[in-house]
A = this chain, B = another copy of it.
Amino acid sequence: MSKEITSRSTDYSQWYNDLVIKGELADYSAVRGCMVIKPYGFALWENMRDVLDKMFKDTGHVNAYFPLFVPKSLFEAEEKNAEGFAKECAIVTHYRLQADPDRPGKLMVDPTAKLEEELVVRPTSEAIIWSTYKNWIQSYRDLPILVNQWANVVRWEMRTRLFLRTAEFLWQEGHTAHATRQEALDETVKMLHVYADFVENYMAVPVIKGIKTPQERFAGAEDTYCIEALMQDGKALQAGTSHFLGQNFAKAFEVKFSDRDNKLDYVWATSWGVSTRLIGALVMAHSDDDGLVLPPRIAPLQVVIVPIYKGDEQKAAIDACVQTLVQSLKSMGIRVKYDDNDNARPGWKFAEYEMKGVPLRLAIGARDLENKVVELARRDTREKSTVPLEGLAVRIQQLLEEIQQQLFSKALAYRNEHITPVDTWDQFVSMLDTKGGFMAAHWDGTSETEEAIKEKTKATIRCIPLDNKQEAGHCILTGKPSAQRVLFARAY
């Protein structure tokens, strides 16, 4: 097998890269920090996108599309937003190349084609969208606006990793406008629940819903809600955020509406997003040393069928049997492939589909056919079983559902084992190093302490869980009084 994978225990980070590349999800590109999402990875993203898109539409949202570029002056309008992203943007300064007079066949930037105002390639679209909403909103009758956009965004990251942190990535960004503070707050929380529903029930990754500290908040937001997941190396990963923006962007872009009493007020806003980063979370949550493990509900391929035969006669008999089965499965909406490519041996195919995380593999040989059975292999537990052809399609459907549930249960058990209440600094540091995961610890509520803890340990406050238990205690670092535990972790 040429496609060897580094084991998690040898080098977790290399294991991850091996999975992404050898599992054919993505590849490096000729552009620094940008990746190519390969067809198999993109099919996964399409499945995720389609489920999310339906969830957004079912909650009353519509899609739209806004420009890729943000003029610098709009970017400056919301001060904190600009500060937050200014250090990491791609800037368009010119609009033409010309032949380089000194290097035949080469091109150079045409110095006469300099833009009067530079354009920022969107790192997020609040500025361009709120400058547009200004024209859409006059009265309470124009509200709410419940718009989502599927788009590419660019943040000039210095250290990049496939899916987890790339200069360009794909995402969706919801941008809503409301007449009241409460309605905007409700929307913020509603979308957090939509994200949690998706990540838990489709990606089979358990999450903690919570709220960020001011330190970790989105620049320009009054509050940032988040869902936090735990990876197999004990590090946390922020899987989605939903921001209550207050009236910050409405004030920056002068977006006012007249209410029922004809009184003018600034509009209330939210924004919320998830990205291709979720694929990184998915890979790290379930996979093992043999390759990807994908949850059936979003796996590009749910079942692969491999024939095992000698000679054309056996092959023809297997083909006939498989054809009926494939039709049954497809009519049930199951994504199935019959791999009868004769360039590769069954053993090679088995390894290949294990690498790619296909949830169920079905092997069928001549003797199986006589006995009216097939061999089924689960990717998650590696269990193999011999199953009758009779009723097979329904059995497969049940098994896919079992695998989905089993993946979630396993990840949930791991996550729950890795929420550790710690009461002293020494305990905090030692558990972080030895066990990892979330540390439920008291904190004095100041950004200074939060920053000091981060400097000393690289652990950050991932969130203050929603409906957090109130419990008096003392800050693990300063000993000052605290009213609740918060969740610390090292994070992606």
Per the bound structure, the CA–CA distance linking A152 and B74 in Å amounts to: 21
CB proximity to B under 8 Å, residues A204-253: none
* Given A64-B42, A79-B105, A152-B152, A132 contacting B93 (CB threshold 8 A): no
* Given A88-B95, A93-B91, A141-B343, A39 contacting B67 (CB threshold 8 A): no
The interface bits of chain A over 450-470 (1 if a CB of B lies within 8 angstroms of the residue's CB, else 0) are 000000000000000000000
Per the bound structure, the CA–CA distance linking A99 and B65 in Å amounts to: 30
Q: Are B82 and A63 in contact (CB under 8 A)?
A: no
Q: Are B132 and A36 in contact (CB under 8 A)?
A: yes
Q: Are B86 and A107 in contact (CB under 8 A)?
A: yes
Interface membership of A185, Cβ < 8 A: no
Chain B residues within 8 Å of A45, by CB? 65
Chain B residues within 8 Å of A168, by CB? 67-69
Chain B residues within 8 Å of A64, by CB? 36-39, 41-42
Chain B residues within 8 Å of A99, by CB? 86
Interface membership of A394, Cβ < 8 A: no
Per the bound structure, the CA–CA distance linking A393 and B66 in Å amounts to: 37
Q: Are B109 and A93 in contact (CB under 8 A)?
A: yes
Per the bound structure, the CA–CA distance linking A39 and B144 in Å amounts to: 14
CB proximity to B under 8 Å, residues A66-97: 66-72, 74-76, 79, 82, 86-97
Per the bound structure, the CA–CA distance linking A64 and B26 in Å amounts to: 9
CB A128 to nearest CB in B, in angstroms, measures: 7
Per the bound structure, the CA–CA distance linking A35 and B90 in Å amounts to: 20
Per the bound structure, the CA–CA distance linking A343 and B260 in Å amounts to: 13
Q: Are A43 and B65 in contact (CB under 8 A)?
A: no
Interface centre among A69, A121, A132, A343 (most CB of B within 10 A): A69
In the complex, residue of chain B having the shortest beta-carbon distance to the beta carbon of A63: B42
Chain B residues within 8 Å of A91, by CB? 92-97, 109
Per the bound structure, the CA–CA distance linking A86 and B97 in Å amounts to: 5
Interface membership of A438, Cβ < 8 A: no
Q: Are B27 and A154 in contact (CB under 8 A)?
A: no
Q: Which of B31, B63, B132 makes the CB contact (< 8 A) with A67?
A: B31
Q: Are A105 and B132 in contact (CB under 8 A)?
A: no
Q: Are A92 and B95 in contact (CB under 8 A)?
A: no
Interface membership of A486, Cβ < 8 A: no
CB A267 to nearest CB in B, in angstroms, measures: 17
Per the bound structure, the CA–CA distance linking A87 and B74 in Å amounts to: 27
* Given A38-B64, A67-B29, A96 contacting B107 (CB threshold 8 A): no
Chain B residues within 8 Å of A323, by CB? none
Q: Are B132 and A119 in contact (CB under 8 A)?
A: no
Per the bound structure, the CA–CA distance linking A71 and B343 in Å amounts to: 37
Interface membership of A131, Cβ < 8 A: yes
Per the bound structure, the CA–CA distance linking A35 and B34 in Å amounts to: 26
Q: Which of B29, B41, B70, B92 makes the CB contact (< 8 A) with A66?
A: B29
Q: Are B72 and A107 in contact (CB under 8 A)?
A: yes
Q: Are A119 and B107 in contact (CB under 8 A)?
A: no
Q: Are B42 and A65 in contact (CB under 8 A)?
A: yes
Interface centre among A35, A98, A107 (most CB of B within 10 A): A107
CB A344 to nearest CB in B, in angstroms, measures: 10
Per the bound structure, the CA–CA distance linking A34 and B70 in Å amounts to: 10
The interface bits of chain A over 40-76 (1 if a CB of B lies within 8 angstroms of the residue's CB, else 0) are 0111011000000000000000111111111110111
CB A363 to nearest CB in B, in angstroms, measures: 23
Chain B residues within 8 Å of A93, by CB? 91-94, 109
Q: Are A109 and B105 in contact (CB under 8 A)?
A: no
Per the bound structure, the CA–CA distance linking A181 and B38 in Å amounts to: 25
Chain B residues within 8 Å of A343, by CB? 141
Per the bound structure, the CA–CA distance linking A245 and B380 in Å amounts to: 44
Chain B residues within 8 Å of A154, by CB? 68
Interface membership of A319, Cβ < 8 A: no
Q: Are B132 and A29 in contact (CB under 8 A)?
A: yes
Per the bound structure, the CA–CA distance linking A72 and B106 in Å amounts to: 9
A86-B107, A97-B120 known; 15 new pairs, CB 8 Å cut-off, are A30-B74, A31-B70, A35-B67, A36-B64, A37-B64, A37-B66, A38-B64, A39-B63, A42-B65, A45-B65, A68-B152, A68-B154, A69-B168, A76-B105, A92-B92
Task: Please provide the 6 A-B residue pairs with the shortest distance between their CB atoms, ordered closest to farther.
Answer: A34-B67, A39-B62, A37-B65, A95-B156, A91-B94, A86-B97
- What are 20 A-to-B residue pairs whose CB atoms are below 8 Å? A30-B67, A30-B71, A30-B128, A30-B131, A34-B67, A36-B64, A36-B65, A39-B147, A42-B64, A68-B121, A76-B107, A86-B97, A87-B98, A89-B95, A90-B92, A90-B95, A91-B95, A91-B96, A92-B92, A97-B120
